[in-house]
């Protein structure tokens, strides 16, 4: 997995960009991008790195039509890229649940607040195959997300939740 790896192997190519052109999405959410970030900057791919080269190549066909919002992990792990069509009003972007500042660990949460719409993109942690500490981590995540989705101060705005919810119907 990971965006740089997929770009390097040419697994993201003409078909992806043709689908974007055909479907005309306003928002594209990509999880587990695994891009190395600039020290202390969760929204910036490390300058001069091969990850930056792959990120720029990925964005080149999209840059004229989409703004990108990144939430990257401190390690080359997890992270998300959210692309928003430039024709939309600029959203207010936050990276943590419950109106807390900063970025949620491992780039797992991005909220875009538009005039009449709230888009939340998540990369939920896996609950682990029977590992107690993973299950506890996921249970805490679910509680935070449930509270986030209840946010009553949205004034009737439509709400969309998308991303990698890491939902499995049995232990794997």
Tell me which residue of 33, 37, 109 sits closest to 78, measured CA to CA: 33
Q: In the structure encoding, which two tokens stand for residue 93, read together?
A: 């972007």
| Of 99 and 54, more confident | 54
Confidence of residue 69 (pLDDT cuts 50, 70, 90): very high
How do residues 14-29 score in pLDDT, each as one tens digit? 899 999 999 999 999 9
pTM of this prediction? 0.88
Q: Mean pLDDT across the stretch 7-19?
A: 90
Q: Mean pLDDT across the stretch 92-112?
A: 85
How do residues 74-93 score in pLDDT, each as one tens digit? 777 788 999 999 999 999 99
Q: Report how far residue 115's alpha carbon sits from residue 110's, in angstroms, rounded to the nearest whole number.
A: 17
Q: Mean pLDDT across the stretch 120-146?
A: 85
DSSP-derived letter for residue 35 is: P
Confidence of residue 8 (pLDDT cuts 50, 70, 90): confident
Q: How many residues does the chain have?
A: 172
Tell me which residue of 62, 63, 118, 125 sits closest to 94, measured CA to CA: 118
pLDDT tops 80 at residue 58: yes
């Amino acid at each position: 997995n990971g965006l740089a790896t997929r770009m390097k192997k040419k697994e993201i190519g003409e078909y992806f960009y043709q689908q974007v052109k055909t479907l005309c999405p306003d928002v594209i959410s990509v999880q587990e991008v695994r891009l190395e970030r600039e020290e202390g900057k969760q929204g910036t791919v490390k300058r001069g790195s091969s990850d930056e080269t792959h990120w720029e190549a990925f964005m080149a066909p999209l840059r004229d039509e989409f703004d990108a919002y990144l939430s990257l992990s401190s390690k080359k792990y997890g992270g998300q890229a959210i692309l928003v069509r430039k024709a939309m009003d600029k959203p207010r972007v936050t990276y943590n649940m419950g109106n807390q500042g900063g970025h949620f660990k491992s780039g797992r949460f991005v909220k875009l607040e538009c005039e009449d719409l709230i888009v939340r993109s998540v990369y939920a942690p896996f609950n682990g195959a029977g590992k107690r500490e993973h299950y506890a981590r996921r249970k805490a995540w679910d509680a935070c997300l449930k509270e986030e989705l209840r946010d009553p101060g949205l004034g009737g705005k439509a709400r969309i939740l998308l991303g990698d919810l890491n939902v499995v119907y049995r232990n794997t």
